Amino acid sequence: MDEYLPVVDAMDDTIDELEEALLSRSDSTALQQLMMMKRNTLRLRRAVTPQRDIMSRLSRGEYPKLVREDTVIYYRDIYDHLVRVEHFIESLRDLAEGTLNAYLSVVSNRLNEVMKVLAVAAAVFLPLTLISGIYGMNFRRNQFPGFNDPWGFAAVVVAMVAIAVGFLVYFRLRRWI
């Protein structure tokens, strides 16, 4: 029974290290180790819970032919250790779950930032693509405005640059970029 506490303490230290590693940098090996720690805490809990139930019954003196009156106190001590270990295991599981949730939140925030940048880029280039697509169609020169004007191409390019800059300024004022 006394060997459970050092194992639980080592698992606690490992989860703390994994939490620091996951929050400082995205590392798939640290994530795998964290998932392994969650599985190990579950396995340890599955091993401790039946032992705790058995020690509880033995420490209450339910089996007087099996447990002598003078040894019941030792079974109570073992039961107390098992209860403490079980509480530690539950807190480890909660800590691992919290670490995983924090990691997923950090990854989600990073993804949101990337998506915001991509959305801004798409919003800037969408009207420019529309304008260039319209002016790139096959029209006769006298049917479309600006084709016969010597400054028509320059005016369209200036309008496209103005639209792009306008969008970027608008996004900057809204603090989206």
User: pLDDT tens across 94-143, in order?
Assistant: 999 998 898 888 889 889 988 988 998 899 999 999 888 877 777 666 66
Predicted TM-score of the model (pTM): 0.67
Q: CA nearest 100: which of 163, 175, 15? A: 15
User: pLDDT tens across 21-32, in order?
Assistant: 887 877 778 888
Q: CA nearest 30: which of 109, 102, 113? A: 102
Classify burial at 39, counting beta carbons within 10 Å of its beta carbon; exposed 0-12, middle 13-18, buried 19 or more. Answer: exposed
Q: Taking 90 as the threshold, does the pLDDT of residue 162 lie above it?
A: yes
Q: CA nearest 57: which of 85, 88, 78? A: 78
Does residue 62 share a domain with residue 41? Answer: yes
Among candidate residues 91, 111, 131, the one where a domain is terminated: 111
Least confident of 15-19, 39-43, 68-72, 95-99: 68-72
Does residue 126 share a domain with residue 92? Answer: no
Among candidate residues 60, 85, 111, the one where a domain is terminated: 111
Does residue 51 share a domain with residue 126? Answer: no
Q: Which domain holds residue 151?
A: 116-173
User: pLDDT tens across 130-152, in order?
Assistant: 888 877 777 666 666 666 777 87
Q: The domain spanning residue 168 has which CATH number? A: 1.20.58
Q: Which residue has the tokens 């997923």?
A: 104
Two structure tokens written together for 109: 């925030």
* Sequence-distant (≥ 6) Cβ neighbours of residue 113 within 8 angstroms: none
Question: Which of 135-163 are b and which e, b meaning 16 or more Cβ less than 10 Å from the residue's Cβ?
Answer: beeeeeeeeeeeeeeeeeeeebeeebeeb
